[in-house]
Chains A and B, each alone.
Chain A
Amino acid sequence: MKKCRAKLATLPVWMPAYRTRRQRLCGQVLLSWSNKVASFISRAGKTAAAACAVWMQWALAASAVQPSLVELQQQAIAAAVAHVAPSVVRIETIGGLERVEDLIVPTGPTTGLIISEDGYIVSSAFNFVQKPSSILVTLHDGARHAARIVAHDHSRMLVLLKIDAEAPLPIPEPAPRESWKVGQWAIAVGRTFAGSLPNVSVGILSATNRVWGKAVQTDAKVSPSNYGGPLVDIEGRVIGVLVPISPHAQGEIAGAEWYDSGIGFAIPLVDVLARLDQWKQGRDLHAGLLGIAFEDKNELLGRPVISVVRFNSPAQKAGLQPKDRITHINGVPVVRIAEVKHQLGPLYAGDTVTVTVDRNGQPVTVSATLVDQLVPYAHARLGVLPRTPADQQPGVEIAWLLPGGAAEKAGLQQADRIRRCAGQEITDTQSLGQVLLAHQPGDRVTLDVQRGRQRLSVEVQLQPFPEKIPDGVPVIEPPEGGQEAWADVAVPEEPNQCRLWLPYGANPPAPYGLLVWLQAGGQYDAEAVVAAWKEQCRSHGVALLLPRSADPTGWRPTDVEYLRKVLSHVIENYPIDRQKVVIGGEELGGSIAYVVAFGARAEVRGLLVRNAAAPVRLRIPDNEPAYPLAVFLGVAQHSRLRAAVGRTAEQLRAMRYPTVLHLLGSADGTFSQDDMDLAVRWMTLLALL
C-alpha cells in the first residue's frame, strides 16, 4: 500500500505515462476501496450520507502525513480523464432544424468518442436531431476535420461518424462487462466548453442492464454538455457512451428531459464495438421486432401469454400462436413480461432469436429472425365488381371495372368471366376472394379469362382497395312493385328500440347492403333518417337499421354489446349481403360505431362516421386478412374535430385500413345529398374484388 502511494506522489497528474500500468495500479486500489464503501452505502441505506462523510473524515485525517484518500481519488480521477481525453472529440454542426417537437435544438458544441484508429467516431443521436448540413470534428490537439454520418443506431440512439484522418487516431480502452460493479466510480466526460480540457462530472455506476438491457445508469450529471462523450471507470476505461434514452419513449430526444437529474444513461462501449463491423457498412441498426403482443398489460406482474401474433411478422412465420406462454428466450428462462422485454430489448433487426413456449402444456421451441418493421396486412384488389346475383356458370363475371383499377389497366372488359386466378380454379366470388387473400397489393397474378368464346391469359398487378370513390359506380334499377317496408327489431332481454327499413320490401332481387346508423347522442328519429337517405339507398340497394340507445339521453359503452347482437340478428334473418354490412354514426354515435366496428370484425365490412374521431382509448387492432374493413370518415372542413379526425385517418391508414377522408362542404357538418350519394357509392364498392 505504501509503495503504491509513494509512486503516486511522484507522478505528475497529467503525465501520459499514467495511461500505463501505474495508473492501473492506483486505479485498482481506489476501485477496490470505493467498491467497498459503495457496497456499504447501499446496505446501510439511510445512514449512507453519514458513512460517506465519516469516510472522508478519516481520509482527511490522514492528510497531515501522506496524501489523503481524497487527494488520491482526485489524482486518480484526473488520471482517468487524461487517459480517455485524447479519444474525446468536440463536434460542431452547421445548419438544420431550429426546433424538433417541443425541443429548441441546442446550437452549441457536442461530444463524440473515437472508436477506431481509421476515423470512426460514435456520438449520441441527440446531437444530430436537427439534421445538420455540415458536421465538424475537432480532435484533442485542435485539428479539425469534416465528418459525415455513416449510419444510425435507432435502438440505442447512437450515430456513427467518419472523418478522414492522416495518422492513426487514439482509441479508448473499453471496460469489460465483467468489470462493472454497481457503486464503482463513473466519470462522465464531454468536450463542449471553451478551452482545451474536457469537462467532467463524477458519480458512480448506479445500475447495469437498464432500458431493457441496452444501457447502464449513472448519477454523474449527464446533459447536452456531455451527450456523446464517454462514461469512464477510475482506470479511464470506457464503460459506455452517454446518451439521452428512455425506457418508455422512443426517438432522439426521449430522455433528454432527465438531464442533470442524477439519472443518466450510457450505451456500453463493448456492445457498440461488437456491432462496429456491421455498422461501418453504412447500414442503420434498428431494434429487432418479433411481432407479438401480450394479454396482460402489467409487464412487471403479467405472464408472457401471447394475445396477438401480427400478420406477416417473424413470430407468425416461426409459428407462434395466441395463448402460447413464453418460457425461454435464447435459452434464458423468463417468467414475467418484463423479463421477455429485457431479453428482446438489446437485439437488433436481423438477429435470430429462439423462443420456447408452453403450448397446452407442451414445450415448443421456434427460431425467428427479427425485423425492423412490421408490415401490416393490406387487402389486394383486382378492381372489379362481380355480377349479382351470380348465374350458375363457373367463374366470376365482371359487371363493372373500377376506372384506373388493376383489371382495367390490364385490359379486362365488362362481361369477361374470370375462370382461373394465380393458377387456381375460380368457381364463384368466394373462391376468387380466397385467392386474393393470399396476395398483397403490388403482386402480379395471372388471370385466365373467358371473353365470348376466347380464352385469354392476362397478367394483372394487384392494387389496394381504393381510397377515392370514382363516378359511375353502378346503380340499381329499383324493382317494379318493390314497396318499402318497415320492421321493428327486438332482441331478447335488451330494452333498446330498433327499426329496420327495407327499400323494396322483404324480397329484393339481390341481397341488400346494410347501413346501421347511430344518431348523435340523445336524438332518435328513424323517419327523419330514412327520409334523408331514401333516394340514395333505393338506387344502391341499401337497407337502414336504426337502433336507439338504451338510455334515451345518449349512447353508453354498455350499448356496444346490444349493437353487436342486433346486427347479427338482422344479418341472419333478413336478405343482407355480408360484404356490404356497414356500421355508421354521427358525433357520439360515431364514437360508438368505431368501437362496434373493431369489436365485431366478423360481421362488419365498413365503418362510416360523420364528425367523430376514434375514441382516445380505442386501440386500433391489426388489419386481418379474413375480415376486411374499409373506413369512410366525413368531417366538416372548418370543424374543430378536423385535426383529430385527420389523425384517426392517419392511424387507420398506417394499419392499412383503406380510409376515405371526406371533407364536408356544409358549415354545420351535416351530410348533403351529394355526401350521402358518395357514401352509398362507397358502400357498393365494398363488394369490390
Chain B
Amino acid sequence: MARLSNPTALIAAGLALALATGLSAREPIDSHNSLADIIRGVQPKLVKIYGAGGLRGLEAYQSGFFISPEGHILTVWSYVLDTDVVLAVLHDGTRYQATLVGADPKLEIAVLKIDVQHADYFDLHSAVEPDVGSWVLAFSNIFGVATGDEMPSVLHGTVSAKTELQARRGAFTIPYQGPVLVLDAITNNPGAAGGALTDASGRFVGLLGKELRNDLTNTWINYAIPAGELTASVEAILAGRAPTSRGDSSTPRPASPMSLEELGLVLVPEVLPKTPPFIESVRPGSPAAEAGLAPDDLILFVNDHLVPSCAAVREELSYIDRIDPVRLTVQREQDLIEVTLRLP
C-alpha cells in the first residue's frame, strides 16, 4: 500500500502544473502530447458547412473536415448541400464557396472542394480502429454554436459497441448498412453530422453519422462510420468514378422463395400485428412433419434471425431460396429444439 502514496504525490504535481498551465496557457508543458494540444491540432481540420435549410426544424448547417491538402472536404450527403451556394467556413473564419465533387448515396457521404493550398487534413489511410471501451473525441459544429473564427465543439466519450446497422430488418431507416461505432458521447444532434471522430491521440477514426433512431430500442443512436468503410468510396468520388461502397448490400430476394405452405406449416391466425408464430397444424408427410414439428411449437428463429411474429416468419422465408435448407428453432414448453428443413 505504501506505493499508493506515489500517485497522490504525482497527482499533486499534476495539479500544480495545471495551475501553472492555466496561468500561462500559451506555453503548454509538452507541445507534442498534451490533450489540449491534440485537440488544438485537430480543430483546424474541421470545417463549418452552411447551405440549404432553416425551415421547420431543418438546420441549415452541418460539419465536415479536410481530407486533402488541396481543400477536399468530406461531409455527409444531406439536404444542406442541396443548393447552389454551399459555404465552408474554416477555423480562422475565412469563408469559401464550396463545389460538390461527388457523393455516395449509399453511404450518404459527399466530397466538397474549396480553393485552398496546404490545408490541415486527416489522411484517411492512416486512420486507426479503436476497441470497444476506448476513449474517443468527437469534433463537430454541434448545434451550430461555433460561428466565424470559433473552433468546433469537442465531446469526449467511449466506443460503446462495434456493430452493424441492419436496415433490412427495419431497425434503422437509412440506406447505409454496415459496420458502425456506437458512441456514448451524445453526438446525435443537429450539426454534428459530418464531424470527425478521433482517438485520444487525435488520430482519425471515423465520420460522425446523421441523426438516427434505433427502432429496436426506440432511442436515438450516436454513431460514426469507421474510416475503413469510407476510403474506397471517397477514392472513387475523387477519381470521378461511380462509388462502390461496401455498405451496399441490401440482400436480394430470390425469385422463388421458401414458403410455409410447401414446408407443411400452418401458423395460428394473425389476430394481432405481433401475433407470436405458434404452429397451428402440420401437414402429414410434409418436411415439417418429418422433422418432428408439432402444433403449439413456437417458432423463434429462422436461420438465426429472431422472428417475433407470424409476419416476420413469412418475411424471413421470403429471403430464402426454395432450393436451400432452412433452419428453424422452436420452443416446446421450456425446451428449445432446432430442426433443418429441406424441400424435396
- Which one of B79-87, B214-222, B232-240 is at the A interface? B214-222
Q: Looking at the assembled complex, report how far the CB atom of B201 sits from the nearest CB atom of chain A, in whole angstroms.
A: 8
Given known pairs A94-B276, A194-B164, A260-B186, the reply for A106 and B216 (CB within 8 Å) is: yes
CA distance A47 to B14 in the complex (A): 14
User: Which of A61, A94, A223, A260 has most B Cβ within 10 Å?
Assistant: A94
In the bound assembly, the distance between CA atoms of A32 and B132 in angstroms comes to 24
| Chain B residue contacts of A148, Cβ below 8 A | 334
Complex interface residues of chain B between 269 and 318 (CB less than 8 A to chain A): 273-277, 298, 300, 306, 308-309
Nearest CB on B from A614, distance (A): 35
CB distance from A442 to the nearest CB of B (A): 38
Listed stretches A33-41, A397-405, A478-486, A639-647; interface member: A33-41
Asked if B334 and A54 sit within 8 Å, CB to CB, the answer is: no
Set A13, A50, A70, A198: member contacting B135, Cβ < 8 A: A70
Q: Please report which residues of chain A, range 42-62, place their CB below 8 angstroms from some CB of chain B when the two chains form the complex.
A: 47, 50-51, 53-58, 60-61
How far is B133's CA from A200's CA once the two chains are assembled, in angstroms? 6
Residues of B within 8 A of A104 (CB): 218
- Given the complex, which residues of B lie within 8 Å of A144, measured CB to CB? 329, 336
Among A28, A64, A81, A134, the residue within 8 A (CB) of B300 is A134
Task: Please give, as numbers and ranges, the residues of chain A lying within 8 Å of B276 by CB-CB distance.
Answer: 94-95, 133-134
A293 at the interface (CB under 8 A from B): no
- B249 interface residue (CB < 8 Å to A): no
User: A33-B11, A146-B331 are contacts. A81–B217 as well, Cβ < 8 Å?
Assistant: no
Whether the pair A136, B300 counts as a contact (CB closer than 8 A) is yes
A519: chain B residues within 8 A (beta carbon): none
Q: Which of B18, B36, B163, B329 contacts A193 (CB 8 A)?
A: B163
A221 within 8 A of B: yes
Report the Cα distance A55→B30, complex, angstroms.
Answer: 13
B65 to chain A minimum Cβ distance, whole angstroms, is: 22
CB distance from B95 to the nearest CB of A (A): 30
A202: chain B residues at CB < 8 Å are 133, 157-158, 184
Q: What count of chain B residues pass the 8 Å CB interface test?
A: 63
Chain B residues in 8 Å Cβ range of A53:
35-36
CB pair A224–B219 under 8 Å, yes or no, is: yes
Smallest Cβ-Cβ distance to A61: which chain B residue = B30
A194 to B171, CA, bound (A): 12
Chain A residues whose C-beta falls within 8 Å of the C-beta of B17 in the assembled complex? 54, 58
Q: How far is the CA of A679 from the CA of B195 in the complex (A)?
A: 72
Q: How far is the CA of A193 from the CA of B166 in the complex (A)?
A: 11
Complex interface bits, A206-223 against B, C-beta within 8 A gives 1, otherwise 0: 000000000000001101
Given contacts A40-B15, A96-B274, contact A197 B306 (CB under 8 A): no
- A98 adjacent to chain B (CB < 8 Å): yes
Contact with A along B159-170 (1 / 0, CB 8 A): 011111010000
Report which of B6, B133, B215, B298 forms a contact with A77, defined as CB distance below 8 A. Answer: B133
Kindly name the residue among B11, B22, B186 whose own CB sees the greatest number of chain A CB atoms within 10 A. B11
Contacts of B4 in A (CB 8 A): 28-29, 32
The interface on chain A, measured as residues whose beta carbon lies within 8 A of the other chain's beta carbons, has a size of 68
Q: Mark A85-118, 1 if CB is under 8 A from B, else 0.
A: 0000000111110100001101111000000000
Partner of B308 from the list A4, A28, A94 (CB cut-off 8 Å) is A94
CB contact under 8 A between A50 and B29, given known A29-B4, A164-B334, A260-B219: no
Query: With contacts A98-B273, A193-B163 known, is A92 near B6, CB below 8 A?
Result: no
Q: Which of B17, B18, B29 has the most CB of A within 10 A?
A: B18
Binary flags per residue of A326-357, CB closer than 8 Å to B gives 1, else 0 = 00000000000000000000000000000000
Is the CB of A184 closer than 8 A to any CB of chain B? no
* Binary CB contact string for chain A from 656 to 684 against chain B (1 if under 8 A, 0 otherwise): 00000000000000000000000000000
Any A CB within 8 A of the CB of B3: yes
What is the minimal beta-carbon distance from B316 to any residue of chain A, in angstroms? 14
Q: Determine the main DSSP class of B at the interface with A.
A: mixed
Verify if B114 is at the interface (C-beta below 8 Å from A). Answer: no
CB of B7 within 8 A of CB of A32, answer yes
Q: How far is the CB of A81 from chain B (nearest CB, A)?
A: 6
Per-residue A-contact encoding for B174-204, CB less than 8 Å = 1, 0 else: 0000000010101000000000000011000
A50 touches B184 (CB 8 A): no
Contact B163 A108 (CB under 8 A): no
Interface pair A95/B158, CB less than 8 Å apart: no
Would you give the 0/1 interface string for B219-261, flagging 1 where the beta carbon is closer than 8 Å to chain A?
Answer: 1101000000000000000000000000000000000000000
For B18, what are the chain A residues with a Cβ–Cβ distance below 8 Å?
A: 50-51, 54-55
User: Are B11 and A78 in contact (CB-based, < 8 A)?
Assistant: no
**Residues in A whose Cβ lies below 8 Å from that of B36:** 53-54, 57
How far does the Cβ of A197 sit from chain B's closest Cβ, in whole Å?
5
A 142-169 to B, binary, CB cutoff 8 A, 1 in contact else 0: 0011101000000000000000100000
Query: CA–CA, A232 to B298, complex, Å?
Result: 36
Q: How far apart sit A40 and B19, CA to CA, in the bound complex (Å)? A: 13
Q: Which of B1-58 contact A (CB under 8 A)?
A: 3-4, 6-8, 10-11, 14-15, 17-18, 21-22, 28-30, 33-36, 38
Whether B335 lies near A201 (C-beta < 8 A) is no
The reply to whether the CB of A225 lies closer than 8 angstroms to some CB of chain B is yes
B219 near A225 (CB under 8 angstroms)?
Answer: yes
Report Cα–Cα, A61/B13, bound state, in Å.
13
A279–B182 Cα gap in the complex (Å)? 36
Interface string of B327-341 (1 = CB under 8 A from A): 001010011100000
Q: Are A108 and B11 in contact (CB under 8 A)?
A: no
Whether A146 lies near B336 (C-beta < 8 A) is: yes
* Inter-subunit contact A192/B217 (CB<8 Å): yes
In the bound assembly, the distance between CA atoms of A202 and B10 in angstroms comes to: 24
Q: Please tell me if the beta carbons of A199 and B334 are within 8 angstroms of each other in the complex.
A: no
Given A4-B3, A106-B218, A260-B219: A57 in contact with B160 (beta carbons within 8 A): no
Q: Is B131 an interface residue (CB 8 A)?
A: yes
**Within the complex, what minimum Cβ distance (angstroms) separates A622 from chain B?**
40
Task: Kindly name the residue among A37, A92, A148, A200 whose own CB sees the greatest number of chain B CB atoms within 10 A.
Answer: A200
Cα separation A13 to B132 with both chains bound (whole Å): 12
Asked whether A531 is an interface residue with its Cβ less than 8 Å from the other chain, the reply is no
Q: Does A259 contact B (CB under 8 A)?
A: yes
A225 touches B217 (CB 8 A): yes
Contact B274 A95 (CB under 8 A): yes
Minimum CB–CB distance for A281 against chain B, Å:
19
Q: How far, in angstroms, from A65 to B309 measured CA to CA in the complex?
A: 57
Closest partner residue, chain B, to A74 (CB atom): B134
Given contacts A51-B15, A164-B334, contact A221 B160 (CB under 8 A): yes
A-side contacts of B21, CB under 8 Å: 54, 57
User: Which B residues touch A37, using CB under 8 A?
Assistant: 11
A29, A98, A146: the one contacting B334 at CB < 8 Å is A146
A312 within 8 A of B: no
Give complex CA distance A56, B202 in Å. 13
Of all chain B residues, the one with the shortest Cβ separation from A73 is B135
Given A78-B133, A192-B217, A221-B184, A197 contacting B38 (CB threshold 8 A) = no
The reply to whether B132 and A33 contact each other, CB–CB distance below 8 Å, is no
B2 CB, min distance to chain A CBs, angstroms: 10
The CA of A78 and the CA of B134, in the complex, are separated in Å by 8
B158–A29 contact, CB under 8 A?
no
A-side contacts of B331, CB under 8 Å:
134, 136, 146
Looking across the interface, which residue of chain B has its beta carbon closest to that of A63?
B33
B161 touches A199 (CB 8 A): yes
A50 to B131, CA, bound (A): 27
Given A50-B22, A61-B30, A94-B308, CB of A1 within 8 Å of CB of B218: no
Q: A94-B298, A134-B298, A145-B336 are in contact. List 11 more A-B contacts (CB 8 A).
A: A50-B22, A54-B14, A55-B11, A57-B28, A60-B30, A92-B306, A95-B308, A108-B215, A134-B300, A192-B216, A195-B164
What are the 10 A-B residue pairs with the smallest beta carbon separation, nearest first?
A: A108-B216, A95-B276, A199-B161, A54-B18, A201-B184, A224-B217, A57-B34, A193-B163, A58-B14, A193-B161
A-B contact pairs, 20 of them (CB 8 A): A32-B4, A36-B11, A60-B33, A60-B201, A64-B33, A78-B132, A81-B132, A81-B133, A104-B218, A133-B298, A144-B329, A144-B336, A199-B160, A200-B132, A201-B158, A202-B157, A202-B158, A221-B186, A223-B219, A224-B217
